Amino acid sequence: MKKDKYFGISPRITRWKIDNWFENWLSYKADNSKFWKNIYVFFYYIFDNKYYKGGMPFINEWLDKYESKWEGKFSRNSLIKDMIYCLHRYEIRMRAEVNL
């Protein structure tokens, strides 16, 4: 079994993608459905739980910092799911500054 370069170094670093047929199928379904996006996020919660939990303080810190920009436009829960989905699906990371 090949060891990932960053996997296991830090609870804030995750493998971008669990590259297998099921994840690929699930990501395809999640692209067009909120239901499947929730399942996709749950998949990473189950199979990459250490890193999922390790990243949550960073996500919450980011959301708290920029709450005035998104409050009332989006729910916190939907933003968390979108952030996790975009991280794994598209390798998109949060930036320090945003314009909403």
Q: For residue 94, what pLDDT is reported?
A: 67
pLDDT in tens, 73-99: 999 999 999 998 988 888 777 665 555
Short-list 83, 23, 40, 41, CA closest to 59: 83
Phi, psi (rounded to 5 degrees) for 71: -60, 130
* Residue 65 token pair: 């910092």
DSSP string, 42-79: HHHHHHTHHHHHHHHHHHHHHHHHTHHHHBTTB-HHHH
pLDDT tens figures, 2-60:
444 544 444 445 556 788 899 999 999 999 999 999 999 999 999 988 888 888 888 89
Q: What is the pLDDT of residue 2?
A: 47
Please name the amino acid found at residue 5: K
pLDDT of residue 33: 95
